[in-house]
Amino acid sequence: MTNVIIKNLMKKYGKTVALMDVSLEIKEGEFFILLGPSGCGKTTTLMCIAGLIKPNKGEVRLGGTVLSSSESGEFTRPQNRDAAMVFQDYAIYPHMTVYNNIAFPLQIRGMNKSKVESKVRDVSQRLGISNLLDRKPKQLSGGQRQRVALARAMVRDPKIFLMDEPLSNLDAKLRVYARAELKKLHEDMGTTIVYVTHDQMEAMSLGDRIAILNDGVLEQVGTPEEIYENPKNLFVAGFIGNPPINLIEGTLIERNGKIIVEFGFSSYELSNGIEIMKKTKTPEIMLGIRPENITITKESRENAIQAEVEVIEPLGRENIFHLRVNDKPLIAVSITNRDLNVGEKVWISFDTNRIHIFDKISQKKIN
Amino acid sequence: MKTNKIGSKKKRLPNPKRVFLYFLLILFVFLTLLPLWSAVMTALKTQEALIYSNPIQPPIKPSLDAFGTAFNELRRPILNSLMFTILATLLSCVLGSMTGYALTKVKFRGANTIFLFIIIGIFIPYQAVLIPLVQIIIELGLWGEISGLILTHTAYGIPICTLLFKSFYDSIPDSLINAAKIDGAGIGNTYLHVVLPLSVTPFVVTAVFQFTQIWNDLLFGLVLTGAGVSQPASVALLNLQGGFVTAWNVQMAGTLWYTIPSLIVYLVLGKYLIKGFMTGAIKG
C-alpha cells in the first residue's frame, strides 16, 4: 500500500501559521490535487510529504511507515524517503548533461553502470527525449526541460510522485498538451501522484480527487464533480468555477406557508425551503447559483427576476452574459439566447436543483 | 545617399571636445605607465649609469646584470612565496566555499550569528592581533616555517572567502538543493556533485583575489619568518635595499621578477572572471 496519511499537520513560520491541523488521506494510485490560492499552504503540505520541511505538529505516513511524527520525534530525511519530486522551476542541474541529470538519482544510490544506462534509455524513450541526452539544460526549451525533470523523477520508480506546479512555466498551448500527457502517463504507471496547483482548470481536468486549502486550512476534499456540484462553503464555491458562481445576499422568510428568499428588490421561492429553514439558525443567507444554471427568457415567467443585459461576451461555443439585477452584477452562461441585445430587459430564473444556500455568518452550505 | 555620407565623414573635422578628451586620456596613460617605464629602464642600467642619468632616461648600454643579481637573491624566496601562496589560496578557497555552502544551503539554527562573527574577522586589522599571533605560532613550533605562513594566511582568508562564496550561493535556487536531497544526496554529496561544479566562477574570482592578497603580504612574512630560509619574496625584496647603499637597478629588477607570478595568474584566469556558468540553471 502506498497511500499517504496526513494527520493533524501543523506548520508555523514564526507567528504565521502556514498549515493548521490538516488531515487527509491520499489513496494508492490516486492523482491527488492540492489546490488553493497562493500562500494557502499547498506547497508546504507537499514539502512535508517530501521531507523538505519538518512540521511542527502532526504525522506523515507513506504506505504504512511513519515518515515524520511530532509525537515520537521520528523524521526521515528526504533522501531516504521513496518520493520523487518535480519542481516548478524544474531544478535541473545546469552543469550536467540531460543523461547525467536523469541518471543522478540512480548513481547517487550506487546502482551499477549498465543498469543505470538501460533505465535512463528506457525512461527517456518513454518521454521522447532520447535525442536530447547529450545536451546541456541551457540548450533545451521549457517543454523539454519539463520532460527532463519528469524523467529524473520517473527513473527511480518511486512509491509516490510529488509535483509542485510543474506546468505553470509552460505557455498556454503547451500546458494543455502536457496536461493530457501527464494524465495518460499516470494511467499507464498507476503510481500515486500528489500535485500542487493554483489553477482550477488543471485541478479539475487532472485530479481523481482535489483538496482545497485556504489560509492553511483544509476546506474540502472530494472528486472534481463533488467539489463543483456541492461546495461545502462560500470559499470553495467562489474558488471553483469560471466564470465564478453568482452570490446574492438575501433573507429567508416565510410567506403563505412557503419559504422564500427576500433580496430586497425581489424575492425567490425555494422549493425545499422548509428543510433549509430547519437547518439554519439565522435567516441571513447567501444564495449561490452558477452561471450555467441561470435561464434567461424574454418574457416573464413564474418565480423569475427581472434583469438588464449589460455586456455580451460571445465565445463561439457559448455566450457569457453580464447582467445587472437592481444594480448588482450577475453572470450567466448560455449556449442559446443568441438573439439578446445589450440593454435589453430580460427575465432570469434559477435551476431549482442547483441552488446553493450558504449561511452568511458561518459561510457553510446549508442545503 | 551612401557616397554623400562617406564624403561628409571624410570632410568632418575632429570635434575639439574629443581632441581634448583624447589628450587627457593619453596623459593619464602616460602618467600610469611612467613608474613601470622608469622601473624597466632603471633595471636595465648598470650601477655606474645610474649616477649619470635620471630614472626616466633609457640606458645607453642596456645590461641584464641587475636581473641576474636580483634573480639569485630572490630565487629561493619566490619559490617559498609560490608554495605558501598557492597552498593557502587553495585551502582558504575550499574552506570558504564549504562554509559559504553550509551557511546558505544547510539551514541550521544560529547560521546568521556564526556568519556575523566570521564577517567581523574581516574588519580586524592585522596589527591588532600581531603579538598573540606570533605567540601562537611560536607555541605551535611553526615560527620561521612555511607551514606557519600557510596556516596564518588560510585562517585570515576564510572570512573574505566565505563572504564571496556565500553571496554566490545565495543566487543558487534552493529548489536545486532540494532536488538533490530528493534525488538521494546528503549534505556532502549535494556539495560535491551539485554545488561544487557550479562554483567555478566564484572559485576563480576568490582565488585571484586571495593569490594577490597573500602574494603581496609583507607584514606576516616579516614577523613570522624573519630573514630565515623560509622568508617570502616580499620580505626578501625589502632586504634587497641594503643598509647603506641602495642598488636601484637590482631593486627594480627584483620588483619586476616579483610581479611576474601575479601577472601570470591574471593572464591565465582573467578570461574565467568574465564567464558565467550559471546560465540555464532555472526556468527559461
Taken in order of first residue, the domains within chain A and their CATH numbers are 4-235 (3.40.50.300), 246-359 (2.40.50.140)
Residue B180 lies in a domain: yes
pLDDT at B281 over 60: no
Please count the structural domains in chain B.
2
Residue pLDDT, tens place only, A142-157 = 999 999 999 999 999 9
Average of per-residue pLDDT across A30-57: 95
Residue numbers in B near A142 (CB within 8 A): 283-284
Search chain A and give the residue with CA nearest B184.
Answer: A79
Domain of residue B18 covers: 12-63
B134 and B16 in a common domain: no
B129 and B34 in a common domain: no
- What residues of B are in the A interface, CB distance below 8 Å? 173, 175-176, 178-186, 189, 193-194, 197-198, 277-284
B76 and B59 in a common domain: no
Among the candidates B63, B80, B100, a domain finishes at B63
Higher pLDDT, A277 or B77: B77
Residue B172 lies in a domain: yes
B81 and B183 in a common domain: yes
B185 and B153 in a common domain: yes
Residue of A91, A140, A152 with shortest CB distance to B178: A91
**How much is the pLDDT for B282?**
39
B85 and B125 in a common domain: yes
Higher pLDDT, B280 or B112: B112
Among the candidates B63, B81, B101, a domain finishes at B63
CA of B142: how far to CAs of B136, B146, B154, B233, in Å? 9, 8, 14, 19
Say whether B280 and A84 touch across the interface (CB within 8 A).
no
B138 and B50 in a common domain: no
Query: Could you tell me which of A58, A63, A85 has the C-alpha nearest to residue A74?
Result: A58
Say whether B184 and A85 touch across the interface (CB within 8 A).
no
B255 and B136 in a common domain: yes
B220 and B137 in a common domain: yes
| Look-up of cell digits 423569475 | A304
B160 and B38 in a common domain: no
B111 and B246 in a common domain: yes
pLDDT at B110 over 50: yes
Residue pLDDT, tens place only, A270-320 = 877 777 777 777 788 999 999 999 999 998 888 889 999 999 999 888 999
B70 and B32 in a common domain: no
**β partners of residue A347:** A297, A306
Q: Who's near A92: CB < 8 A, 6+ residues apart?
A: A101, A137, A145, A148, A149, A152, B179
Q: Which of A13, A53, A89, A157 to mutate to test the interface with B (most CBs of B within 10 A)?
A: A89
Residue pLDDT, tens place only, B176-215 = 999 999 999 999 999 999 999 999 888 988 999 999 999 9
Say whether A95 and B277 touch across the interface (CB within 8 A).
yes
Residue B33 lies in a domain: yes
Average of per-residue pLDDT across B10-23: 84
Cβ atoms of A285 and A366 within 8 Å: the answer is yes
Query: Could you tell me which of A189, A103, A99, A88 has the C-alpha nearest to residue A140?
Result: A99
Query: Among the residues of B106-169, which ranges form H helices?
Result: 111-123, 130-139, 146-169
Least Cα separation, residue B187 to chain A (angstroms) = 10
Residue numbers in B near A137 (CB within 8 A): 280-281
**How much is the pLDDT for B278?**
42
Residue B229 lies in a domain: yes
Please provide the average confidence, as pLDDT, over all residues in chain B.
88
What CATH number is attached to the domain comprising B148? 1.10.3720.10
The span from the CA of B228 to the CA of B145, in Å, is 9
ipTM exceeds 0.90, yes or no: no
Is the Cα torsion angle A12, A16, A20, A22 positive or negative in sign?
Answer: negative
Residue numbers in A near B198 (CB within 8 A): 94-95
Residue numbers in B near A109 (CB within 8 A): 184
Q: DSSP secondary-structure letter at A233?
A: B
